[in-house]
Structure 1
Amino acid sequence: MPPTQAGPDEGPAFVAPELPDSAEVWLLRHGETEWSASGQHTGRTDIPLTEAGKEQARAMGNMLGDLSPALVLSSPRRRARDSAELAGLRVDETTEDLAEWDYGDYEGMTTAEIREADPDWTVWTSDTPGGETRAQIAHRADRVLSRVAAAVANGPVVLVGHGHFSRALAARWIGLAVSGGANLLLGTAAPSVLGAQYGVPVIERWNLPNPAA
């Protein structure tokens, strides 16, 4: 069972300033790629969407309806940028802060392959040789969320990124450790919505089914 509170290795839990109850933050994971379909860990590798992934991205745009974002941020990886474009979004800025977890030596490997050498490995609870630590992910996520918290009073914010990092973002939004993302399964091109109630950060909707998936 992963810890639910941020530990000293990650620093303090993210604490949002007073949030309006109208706060609306959309987390959009990119559409399918060959590696997401095969279960290979895809961090820094700049792999394109499959044809199915392109259809998922277009369908994701339909799921957004007539949303008029105040701010759209995207990972610089092409699978995220292409998903944003196909979803009909105008990206205001690409930022490495939204890039996927750097898996280091485990890039391109499946969990089953990694566990041949490290039987208990998970990205949420184990070290990743040559990759990012949970503390580094926490710091990156908190930087993104600080920008989000400053922008949501002006309207919806959209973050276009990746699976593991989006799960870490959601965990940090509600004050959990990065490892809390282990409990938040997220499919390709499955939108999620973060918000607030009485000024407290909440997860409003999670892993919404993509009709093209």
Structure 2
Amino acid sequence: MELVIIRHGQSEADLLGVHEGRADFPLTELGRKQAGKMAVYLAENLPPDLILASPMKRASATARVLQKTIGCEIQYYDELKEYNNGVLAGLSKKEAAITHPLPKGGRPAHIPIQDGESELEFRYRAEWMLHHVLYEYRDVRRIAIVSHGGLISNLIKAFLHQPNGKFAFSTGDTGIHLLEQQEDMRFVRFLNRQDHLL
């Protein structure tokens, strides 16, 4: 099984200087163009047999562009949503630094942000999603997963059996990662490819 993992295109929050997370901003015009280029690239090189996507606006719109280009089925999972950043969602970064500053030394991984989830809960959600995909869709040759930067980073950590440390896998707008599961072996074919945007 191949997992083609894709981040959504540029969203309006990227231009506003706000904490996005669970704030549900749509794609910008540039984001829609990025999604179109990504879809053409995948159609020509790695066409998926199935698309799984976050239902949030920026990810679902990106997934629909891919579906329209490829023509395969799309299914939405709440588990593919971005980190639940609770009270920070939609707040300007300047305002958040004043009203909800990080505790000294950072927030412990097991303690959720107000009205949100903890880092450990977020990681568990990604672990659950990965295991669900590998089991429930084990007969599907190639699956595209359209999601968000934080969730994608945790999916890759889970795929590689990496701990929940202070490191991340970066993904640019419509960046593509290709992971492959072959029986008991896992392969990273490439990470954060954005050739389609050149």
Q: Could you state the TM-score of these two structures normalised by the residue count of structure 1?
A: 0.76
Q: Give the counterpart of 1:173 among 150, 159, 183.
A: 159
Q: Does 1:100 align with 2:100?
A: no
| Contact 2:178–2:190 under 8 Å retained in 1 | yes
Q: Does 1:73 align with 2:52?
A: yes
Separation in 1 of the partners of 2:109 and 2:141?
Answer: 32
Q: Does 1:130 align with 2:109?
A: no
Residues 4-51 of structure 1, C-alpha deviations (whole Å, 9 max, x = no match): xxxxxxxxxxxxxxxxxxx31011111101213445322222211100
**1:91/1:113 CA distance change after superposition, 3 Å:** farther
User: Which letter maps to 1:154?
Assistant: V
Moved over 3 A (4+): 109-116, 119-127, 210-213
**1:105/1:212 CA distance change after superposition, 3 Å:** same
Separation in 2 of the partners of 1:154 and 1:175?
Answer: 22
> Could you say which residue in structure 1 is the equivalent of 2:28?
50
Residues 45-103 of structure 1, C-alpha deviations (whole Å, 9 max, x = no match): 22111000000000111221253433311111121111112222544311101111110
**1:66/1:152 CA distance change after superposition, 3 Å:** farther
Q: Give the counterpart of 1:187 among 167, 172, 181.
A: 172
Residues 110-143 of structure 1, C-alpha deviations (whole Å, 9 max, x = no match): 6565445227548979852221112221221122
Gaps of 5+ in 1: 1-22
1:175 offset after TM fit, Å? Answer: 0.7
| Contact 1:24–1:193 under 8 Å retained in 2 | yes
Separation in 2 of the partners of 1:112 and 1:178?
Answer: 27
Between 122-131 and 41-50, report the one with greater CA deviation: 122-131
Q: Give the counterpart of 1:148 among 133, 141, 162.
A: 133
Q: Give the counterpart of 1:85 among 36, 42, 64.
A: 64
Count of residues paired in the alignment: 190
| Contact 1:32–1:52 under 8 Å retained in 2 | yes
Separation in 2 of the partners of 1:72 and 1:212?
Answer: 21
Separation in 2 of the partners of 1:38 and 1:124?
Answer: 28
Q: Percent identity?
A: 25
Q: Give the number of the structure whose residues are more often strand, by fraction.
A: 2
Separation in 2 of the partners of 1:132 and 1:83?
Answer: 25
| Contact 1:55–1:212 under 8 Å retained in 2 | no
Separation in 2 of the partners of 1:48 and 1:210?
Answer: 23
| Contact 1:137–1:178 under 8 Å retained in 2 | no
SS where residue 21 of structure 2 aligns? coil
Q: Does 1:159 align with 2:145?
A: yes
1:172 offset after TM fit, Å? Answer: 0.9
**1:165/1:112 CA distance change after superposition, 3 Å:** farther
